[in-house]
Structure 1
């Protein structure tokens, strides 16, 4: 990504893109209704990216803004139970509008509602990741939102910028695009200081950059995030090797019209960051001892199948990181398991086709997929 790259060019890089749209873009502040023409333009852009082989996950705000008008909740600041009620009423309206927008370009949509625990507890993270991967494989556009109807203050993300960053991690996206009411990061809030300087590229997030972040756009009246939450989101995404783009979103074709934006570079690649997390596990939850055939397979880049496992140690659960040992006890790799220790004890030494008959379910043919493993 060069400093002079145009926005559409940047979005075409990488295999996966996560796009976050705020309430002010989706919901008209005056009427309280969805902005159907704008949503149709975004859907057309997503269809064009998919035609180029790109996978797109959409994180959409707007449920509370739609629901509060529908339920007659007019106070500026809602209590938590009122937000939950507004979300319950507004979420089907939001999904209906997105479904109509994407139907117009021949794409199907699917709703994915998350709480913070879904992206911070490893087992639930794996389940959510598998769902998103399957939806993308089936040609759907996942529409992600926080499960505001159930989330309490203790388990809420607090804003959809951070939710979008966690979603980008979960989807293993190379790029996170935050469509905003401003065209990127400035040295100061440009609404207060017209002389503020736009920053095209941020090489590294530090205290000076964070100090530049301003507040939410009070003029919009429907959103909760500001530049500070976008910087926090960029830090989360960057830790997973995902670049963050902040761009003005209120244009007819938000993913294909060229305009100014801020690029916040990650400090690593998506794959390298994930592998580093696995390799850096301080205390693996257990270990798997393999036969020589499985060791040779792992060295050639294959996944770990149950047939090659001869011993299971530990009481780990699905989603835990474990150590993988040779027959002599030397650590050859570490990886994230798709089955619990008890389940692996039952299927070790058996072929993958036997898994469902033995366990009564299957989480896939692999005990550890090669993408979730790093050779030590």
Structure 2
């Protein structure tokens, strides 16, 4: 893993709320200054760096005089709007002191769920990197609704890593890394130096809620590493106040927990399908169709569909469920949910007579389908 990070040319760094705001006391100028200094050194070394930063809500709470995180969405959005001003200003100031230009980028899930907006976001970020600008990314908490939130910035960091096809994701947190159990409760807890991202055992080890300041816990970091691995990015989870942590990681020093990408890299379009956090619908297939998808890599034909769930349009990403309800694949639907209900359990040759037209012979073509 040290070799992977040492050779990484494009790196996404995610920092948590408790680090950015010094446990909620307000934007930590010294900490952001330290990260900015390290980012500048990486940039001089020819690396491309992106910062995904939490802290807007925590900074807004401090500016508004709130001591506990509100539960109402409108109050959270108000805090984010107030705090984002200070957060962006601090990053701009500190990065500028290091001779770096910066750009604020606010994203919502809708920006990445729509294919055109996904490509636009990717193009913008890659252009900023080509110009030597450091993008500072946060979720657009001011306008996002609870139904389409990323959930935490660990997930957002992984999605950004996939979006720009980063080589590595570094998650800086207030913990040393990942343990086999909660070290505060289990004296036998073992520190995880290196593991394979996506290993189910890691999800069992991680657990617990986040701090009172942020929303994520170690489980969100493990799941983020699993998601980032889909595009070939390995992840390091490390203590954010470790001296020169980014520079030492880039030199190949073993710090924190390294979760190595052990899965083959998905094509960009298939990675986009995997990264959908919410789906509009699903189709349930029979055992024969499930077998053909899993073992033979075949397209999904209407005759193999036994049930249509939800409401979706042609071109939407939908889930494919096995008879028992297990999600086995995702793909781009060639037909809407209404059309799918009419043609399910029928041969492809009957589509035109059933609908009066035929877009494609498949419900989902194999080139637009990815197993999960």
Q: Same fold (TM over 0.5)?
A: yes
1:113 aligns with 2:106: yes
Whole-Å Cα distance in 2 between the matches of residues 194 and 143 of structure 1? 38
- What whole-Å deviation, never above 9, does each CA across 1:94-153 have from its counterpart, x for those lacking one? 000001110111001100000012122211110000000111111110000000000001
Where structure 2 has 5 or more consecutive residues not aligned to the other structure, the ranges are 273-296, 301-313, 318-372
1:155 and 1:195 map into 2 onto residues whose CA distance is: 39
Aligned 1:205-224 pairs, distance under 5 A: 205-218=198-211, 221-224=212-215
Aligned equivalents of 2:12, 2:43: Cα separation in 1: 13
Among 65, 68, 78, the alignment partner of 1:72 is: 65
Deviation at residue 194 of structure 1 after TM alignment: 3.1
Q: Which structure 1 segments of 5+ residues have no match? A: 284-315, 321-376
Q: After superposition, what is the alpha-carbon deviation per residue over 1:153-207, rounded to whole angstroms, capped at 9, x for unaligned?
A: 1110110000100011111101011001112211101122232101111125233
Structure 2 distance, partners of 1:240, 1:168, is: 8
Distance, in Å, in 2 between the alignment partners of 1:277 and 1:254 is 29
- Per the TM alignment, residue 254 of structure 1 is displaced from its structure 2 partner at its CA by 2.9
Task: Work out whether 1:254 is the aligned partner of 2:235.
Answer: no
Alpha-carbon distance between aligned partners in 2 of 1:247 and 1:93, rounded to the nearest angstrom: 25
Contact 1:12–1:54, Cα closer than 8 Å, also in 2: no
Please state how far the C-alpha of 1:72 moved relative to its aligned partner.
2.6
Matched, 1:180 2:173: yes
Conserved? CA contact 2:162–2:271, under 8 Å: no
Give the alignment of 1:35-184 within 5 angstroms: 35-184=28-177
Give distance in 2, aligned partners of 1:60 and 1:281: 41
| 1:12 pairs with 2:6 | yes
Residues 38, 252 of structure 1: 8 Å contact kept:
no
The 1-side partners of 2:104 and 2:137 are apart by 6
Asked if the contact 1:20/1:177 (under 8 Å) is kept, the reply is yes
Corresponding residue of 1:202: 195
TM-score (norm 1): 0.68
Q: SS at the partner of 2:224?
A: helix
Conserved in 1, the CA contact under 8 Å of 2:70 and 2:76?
no
After TM superposition, the score normalised by the length of structure 2 is 0.69
Equivalenced residues, count: 280
DSSP-derived class of the 2:186 partner? coil
Quote the RMSD (CA, aligned, Å): 2.8
Q: Among residues 268, 280, 283, which one is paired with 1:274 in the alignment?
A: 268
- Three-state SS of the structure 2 residue aligned to 1:191 is coil
1:7-35 deviations in Å (ceiling 9; x for gaps): xx6533222000000011110236x2221
Q: Where has structure 1 moved over 4 Å in runs of 4 or more?
A: 275-278, 280-283
The equivalent position to 2:17 in structure 1, one of 18, 23, 32, is 23
Q: What is the CA distance between 1:281 and its match in structure 2?
A: 11
Alpha carbons of 1:213 and 1:138: their partners in 2 closer, same or farther (altered >3 Å)?
A: same
SS, match of residue 246 in structure 1: strand
CA distance in 2, matches of 1:175, 1:150: 29
